[in-house]
């Protein structure tokens, strides 16, 4: 999971899928992030209530689902400069590294405590991960030596 700032954002639709293309900066660099959403899943109508129509429990449940859907839409609508969290894995596409995102959402951080926490974490990450020389895992090295 990456905490980042949105640098650019665009949405496209292709083959019943909605593509969100983000360019994000996590203070170690800028990288493109692609998130695909199935339009059939995101545009599902609300499920029918099992309670009799007009009862308070059926209205309450439907209203809660609508509020949740609206919150998801609001959290996934990014603008340039918004702080976001992106979950996914790295891949190479057309010779460029990018994040194949499985989820992203806007971080509500009015006093910047999430960003400050991330900045305090970065020196440790550089010492323990980024500044370490790359070492090929033993299993991969053995399989290469066998060839």
What's the CATH number where 84 sits?
2.40.50.140
Residue 146 lies in a domain: no
Domain that holds residue 91: 2-122
Residue 136 lies in a domain: no
Percent of the chain with pLDDT over 90: 1
Residue 139 has pLDDT above 70, yes or no: yes
What is the distance between the alpha carbons of residues 129 and 123, in angstroms, rounded to a whole number?
A: 10
Residue 141 lies in a domain: no
Question: Rounded mean pLDDT of 10-32?
Answer: 78
Residue 14 has pLDDT above 70, yes or no: no
Residue 115 lies in a domain: yes
Residue 71 lies in a domain: yes
pLDDT confidence of residue 103: 81
Residue 65 lies in a domain: yes
Q: Which two tokens stand for residue 112?
A: 């910047």
Vertex 82 angle, CA 119 and 2, to 5°: 50
User: Whose CA is closest to 100, among 15, 19, 13?
Assistant: 19
pLDDT confidence of residue 47: 55
Summary mean pLDDT of the chain: 78
pLDDT confidence of residue 48: 53
Residue 37 lies in a domain: yes
Check residue 132 and report its DSSP letter.
Answer: S
Considering its fold, how many domains does the chain have in total? Answer: 1
pLDDT confidence of residue 56: 55
pLDDT confidence of residue 70: 81
Residue 44 has pLDDT above 70, yes or no: no
pLDDT in tens, 55-76: 555 568 888 888 887 877 777 7
Give this prediction's pTM: 0.58
Q: Which helix (H) or strand (E) holds 146?
A: helix 138-146
Residue 46 has pLDDT above 70, yes or no: no
Residue 49 lies in a domain: yes
Please tell me whether residue 34 adopts helix, strand or coil conformation.
strand
């Amino acid at each position: 999971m990456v905490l980042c700032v949105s640098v650019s954002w665009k949405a496209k639709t292709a083959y019943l899928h909605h593509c969100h293309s983000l360019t994000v900066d996590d203070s170690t660099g800028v990288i493109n992030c692609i998130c695909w959403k199935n339009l059939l899943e995101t545009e599902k109508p609300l499920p029918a209530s099992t309670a009799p129509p007009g009862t308070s429990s059926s209205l309450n449940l439907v209203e809660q689902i609508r509020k949740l859907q609206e919150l998801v839409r609001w959290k996934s609508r990014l603008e340039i400069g918004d702080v976001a969290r992106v979950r996914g894995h790295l891949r190479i596409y057309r010779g460029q590294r990018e994040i194949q995102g499985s989820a992203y959402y806007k971080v509500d951080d009015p006093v910047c405590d999430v960003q400050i926490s991330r900045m305090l974490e970065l020196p440790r990450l550089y010492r323990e991960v980024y500044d370490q020389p790359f070492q090929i895992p033993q299993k991969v090295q053995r399989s290469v030596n066998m060839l």
